[in-house]
Amino acid sequence: MTGQNYHKIRGLCTTRGIYILSISGSIILSGIAPTYGNHDTLKPKPQEFLQEPSFTLNASWDFGTVNSGDTVTHTFDLTNSNATSLLILGIGSSCACLSGQIDKFRLEANDSARLKATLNPTENSDSSDEYIYVDTYSDKERSEVFRIKHQVNPKPTPILKFVSPVQTLGLMRVGQTVKLDLTVQNTGDTDLIIFSSNVDSSPDFSWVPKQPSYPVTVQPAEKRVFAIAYTPDSASGVLQKRIFLVSNDPTDKFLEASGYIATEEEIQRAMGK
């Protein structure tokens, strides 16, 4: 249990019973409690709640495999199986990707309420147990645990991989054109879509033979071969350039090119001529 998100109706009691739903997976159920205007007039008479209330409900639920980012719901039917009234003060939870609400906060004998849990797991969700709390007015404190199982299936993601992510161009003369291999592979499990590149607007780089027709789709395991040309127009010394492809890969990927740019005279002097 990683922490509690807790809502309750203020000013109604000082003693309560707690019912807990245990949920396997990374979940949050945040309760929705009503807002009372006059706490004194709505506060129940203590003798109505002197006996320990009892819930009747299904003890477990299995969501099975849930894709990351998908939303699934389950509704629990809670029945007050005791002869006394039951007042639900609020709903609490232990973690963060579950929302929920209960449709009734006061249950007479044999009366029922519906607690709706909505699960939306993320990439970071795991299979640890999580909990839903039903806070009740009672002279005793009791916990009941209800296990919900689920496994998170990671969301299909494209992965852009440069086959040669680091390229050394060596010594280059001003005005000399060199070519770079820009082969990319999709190592993910859904289509990679390339939208643009910083090559498109660069004065030093150009596509060979021409700019790709965007968007470019690269299927899983597929390779796509591009080439770019670089022509330095001044002796700027050390060259360090990064080539970016803008795509639906959620992480930034780039090719890094390095070299040294010199004039013909500088090269001749370096060679002792």
Q: Mind listing the pLDDT tens digit for each residue in 127-167?
A: 666 777 777 775 455 445 566 667 777 778 899 999 999 99
Q: Between residues 93 and 145, which one has the greater pLDDT? A: 93
Mean pLDDT of the chain: 75
In the sheet with 160-162, reading across from the earlier edge strand, the strands are 160-162, 178-186, 223-230, 205-208
Q: Please report the pLDDT score of residue 27 as a whole number.
A: 32
- Say if residue 2's pLDDT is above 60: no
Task: Evaluate if pTM is beyond 0.85.
Answer: no
**Which amino acid type is present at position 49?**
F
Q: Sketch out the chain's domains with CATH numbers.
A: 5-153 (2.60.40.10), 160-270 (2.60.40.10)
- Say if residue 188's pLDDT is above 70: yes
Q: Are 6 and 134 in contact (CB under 8 A)?
A: no
Number of Cβ within a 10 Å radius of residue 89: 22
Q: Report pLDDT digits (tens) over 245-263.
A: 999 998 888 999 999 988 8
- Segment (H or E) for 265: helix 264-270
Q: Are 18 and 114 in contact (CB under 8 A)?
A: no
Q: Report pLDDT digits (tens) over 36-72.
A: 333 333 444 444 544 455 665 556 777 788 887 788 8
